[in-house]
Amino acid sequence: MVKYNLEGRVAVVTGASAGLGEQFAHGLAESGANVVLAARRLELLEKIANDIEQLYNITAIPVKTDVRNENDIISLVKTTVDQLGNVDILVNNAGLYIVKPLIEQTLEDWHKVMDTNLTSAFIASREVAKVMIPNKSGAIINISSVFGFGGTRFPEVAYYASKGGMISMTKALAVELGEYNIRVNAIAPGFFPTNQSAEAFKSEDIRTNVIKPRTALPMFAENEWIRGAVCFLASDEAKYITGQTLAVDGGWLAF
């Protein structure tokens, strides 16, 4: 991966215990940022933090965090500032989906997805803005999805709504925080073979009839290929980019 210069900066990544969150943490650390890893599974965070410190010679701090709990997010930002002195980069990555037909979706299902995917990003952005505004500097990167642009045959209505909301919230925050030199952008990944999507990738039907027809490039994604996007948007190379959503999708949205 091409390294962007993030030396000395402090990045917070939610949903960092696996999947794309782990990749974002590796990418930012490889570019020189100290990273704070947030998720519920502390034992996984501790292992990833140890691996990252050994690989990249930076500081990596695991913080057990339930992003559906406002106080946990407030504590996450406070811990980051207390231990590392600042927050320069926030990656709102925590997310989940529930696959059920609409008529079987419960209100509890809806709230669980929306609170995890969208409300947590609002709270985390609010809290880091309190740190970034006085500094007149910062980068917030929201992880949306190609599903934020339209539906597919997968019945997961709350996920689509939350990821579409993430794109709209990105634009709103970019406008509100722009005067403080805080940039807010989003990444919309396509299908990556993370733990959550592993079953889909194993299905020949889904690979052949859903993913491949919407993939312009001649190969499926590998998880490491997401790293460059987050590092670019966090870096000074993107200092005049805000309010945008960068699709990393192999051409999914080109169809």
pLDDT tens profile 64-78: 999 999 999 999 999
Does a structural domain hold residue 143?
Answer: yes
Does a structural domain hold residue 5?
Answer: no
Active-site pick, 159, 160, 180, 240: 159
pLDDT band at 2 (very low <50, low <70, confident <90, very high): low
Number of compact structural domains in the chain: 1
Does a structural domain hold residue 252?
Answer: no
Q: What would the pLDDT profile of 86-124 be if each residue is shown by its tens digit?
A: 999 999 999 999 999 999 999 999 999 999 999 999 999
The CATH number of whichever domain residue 67 belongs to comes to 3.40.50.720
Question: Could you confirm whether 159 is annotated as catalytic?
Answer: yes
Q: What pLDDT does residue 1 have?
A: 54
pLDDT band at 197 (very low <50, low <70, confident <90, very high): confident
Closest CA to 188 of 155, 153, 233, 157: 233
Q: Which has more pLDDT, 215 or 3?
A: 215
Residue 198 predicted with pLDDT over 60: yes
- For residue 114, count other CB atoms closer than 10 A to its CB: 17
Q: What would the pLDDT profile of 13-71 be if each residue is shown by its tens digit?
A: 999 999 999 999 999 999 999 999 999 999 999 999 999 999 999 999 999 999 999 99
Mean pLDDT over 140-148 rounds to 98
- For residue 2, count other CB atoms closer than 10 A to its CB: 9
Does a structural domain hold residue 22?
Answer: yes
Q: Which domain holds residue 159?
A: 10-247
Q: What pLDDT does residue 33 have?
A: 98
pTM: 0.96
For 7, the 3-state DSSP assignment is coil
Does a structural domain hold residue 44?
Answer: yes
Does a structural domain hold residue 2?
Answer: no
Does a structural domain hold residue 1?
Answer: no
Rounded Cα distance, 206 and 97, in Å: 17
